[in-house]
Structure 1
Amino acid sequence: MDATPDIAREESPSLLFNQSLEKGLAVLQAFSARRRTMTLADVAEATDITKSSAQRMIFTLEKLGYVRRHPRTRRYQLTPRVMEIGFNYLAANPLIEVANPFLSELTKVTTETSCLTEPDGVDMVYLARFVSAQFVPVHMPIGSRIPMYCTASGRAYLSALPEDEARTLIEACDRVPHTAHTRTGVDEILEELRQAKLQGFATNAEELFLGDMTIAAPVMGSQGRPVASVHLVAPTSRWTLEDAVRKLAPTLLLCARSLTNSARSID
């Protein structure tokens, strides 16, 4: 999907824009691994709204079953009902249904974890994942987000865009060094994209997590634009980057081509 839907950009200042809905969604999004539970004051601070507005949002969300208050601590937390929204997206996305057999086969053939990610803003979001029976250094459940600029899946997606569009997205990223290996310069990332475009796949060698390497290829849609990325995880405990590229990339590219053919028929 595009970074921000055009309709949102166009209608946000208009009378059609519902600020109460915006605040309610902001409250739901404020809960995270860092903020598993919150008081009303915490909610107001996290969403930059008044405490009275936070109280109205929390009261409504509690009545609808999306948040609950702990009987002892009196702090609010999300309920499993929130997952229904995300699950509905997964269930309605035809690319996931099409991709699952290919990802399953990719993991079977390579014995490594395979994943499908989709762009959202300057991140890639995990849509499907088939986990290797072997050790995997990082757990990335469905719905996890990773930055485009320093991941193989993000670079694979960016490499299939016109370079000016890719540059705009890279410049919009908060390019922080997650490890000593993270590339953060716009020009050096663009050079990585040019190389990825030539070879058909992108790589990431411990730029986001230590011990984690990935190889990714873009999935193209019917309009000749990338719609997703497929990647393989190659832990440094089992692979060098050179061996991973030599042994895993050809199978990955076959999978990406198959997914592209399928994506074009449903796009």
Structure 2
Amino acid sequence: MDASLESAVPQDDSPSLLFNQSLEKGLAVLCAFSASRRTMTLADVAAATDITKSSAQRMVFTLEKLGYLRKHPKTRRYQLTPRVMEIGFNYLSAHALIDVATPFLSELTKVTTETTCLTEADGLDMVYVARFVSAQFVPVHMPIGSRVPMYCTASGRAYLSALPEDEARARIEASDRVAHTTRTRTDVDEIMDALRVARARGYATNEEELFLGDMTIAAPVLGSQGRPVASVHVVAPTSRWTMEEAERKLAPALLLCARSLTSSARSVD
């Protein structure tokens, strides 16, 4: 089983002497902050991470001393600092595929005049790791680090279409298949049918299944072992495109980009 899937499904919970629970709690505290929890009290941190208040106090104190958290002088609530981005930036700057993908994504945006993105799999999600934004209107802002579910996105389906069918089905079945819009496909067999179509033509599509007004066409990027390592996609807003037009005019350039990235990925894999 692929390592990224292993992190998304239940595993053996037997304890290991090498496992550092304090580090786990510290990372949990950092991950607990989000758009819906921009600031938190100690009690909030304890509740969000399911740890005791005394443990939360130790974690927060340490992270504050290290510069990853700061406390507002008046509200006494904690929030993240820019230092937390250092870890993510180090990942991006050390990632060979992102480095070699840059000129190809730039060219794809130039040719299509639309926003293009590179995403990687993490568990049951795809994570944005590179993005070239069109000068034209884009209905949804997806900054680097944004996560989208595999089952209902073109990038996710492109990635899944390049996996063995039983492995792709396991990921879909493990997903929390929420209907984000009235067009979201949540039935496992229906999604598997979409993967077979994507496999046959080399690219997957998403027509307003995650966000209204948003369509995307995506193709997988393969590594040296023939397994997917990423997906590249083009954003085709419904205000400018029909799906038929997007497939006819954007898919050829997308597939050319995906092939070039696959060649590059195999050289750095």
Give yes or no for contact 1:156–1:196 (8 Å, CA) kept in 2: yes
| Kept after mapping to 2: 8 A contact 1:11/1:17 | no
Output the CA distance in 1 between the equivalents of 2:12 and 2:107: 43
CA distance in 1, matches of 2:15, 2:229: 29
Match of 2:48 among 46, 49, 58: 46
Superposition RMSD in Å: 1.5
Q: Offset at 1:3?
A: 2.8
How far the C-alpha of 1:12 sits from its partner, in A, is 6.7
Alpha-carbon distance in structure 2 between the residues aligned to 1:73 and 1:240 = 50
Name stretches of at least 5 consecutive residues in structure 1 with no aligned partner: none
Residue in structure 2 matched with residue 175 of structure 1 by the alignment: 177
| Aligned residue pairs, count | 266
The residue correspondences of 1:171-210 to structure 2 (distance < 5 A) are 171-210=173-212
How far does the alpha carbon of each residue in 1:166-224 deviate from its partner, in whole angstroms, 9 at most, with x for none? 01111111100000000001110000000000000000000000000000000000001
Contact 1:3 / 1:119 at 8 angstroms: preserved in 2? no
- Please give the secondary structure, in 2, of the residue aligned with 1:3: helix
Using the size of structure 2 for normalisation, the TM-score is 0.97
Give 2:226's aligned amino acid.
Answer: G
**Distance in 2 of aligned mates of 1:3 and 1:161:** 12
- After superposition, where does 1:47-126 map in structure 2 within 5 Å? 47-126=49-128
In structure 2, runs of 5+ residues without a counterpart are none
Residue type at the aligned position of 1:126:
Y
Indicate the residue corresponding to 1:148 in structure 2: 150
Match of 1:228 in 2: 230
Q: Which amino acid aligns with 2:161?
A: S
Deviations 1:87-139 (A, max 9, x none): 00001110000000000000000000000000000000000000000000000
Q: In structure 2, how many angstroms separate the alpha carbons of the residues matched to 1:156 and 1:95?
A: 17
Residues 111 and 132 in structure 1, CA contact (< 8 A), matched pair in contact too? yes
SS at match of 1:247: helix
1:72 positional shift? 1.1
What TM-score results when the alignment is normalised by the length of structure 1? 0.97
In the alignment, which residue of structure 2 is the partner of 1:161? 163
Q: Does 1:252 align with 2:231?
A: no
Instruction: Look up the match of 1:28.
Output: 30
Aligned partner of 2:29: which letter? V
Query: How much does 1:2 deviate?
Result: 2.1
Distance 2:15 2:187 in 1: 34
Counting aligned pairs with the same residue, the percent is 81
Q: Would the aligned equivalents of 1:152 and 1:215 in 2 still touch at CA under 8 Å? A: yes
1:24 is aligned with what amino acid? G
Contact 2:217/2:251, CA 8 A, preserved across alignment: yes
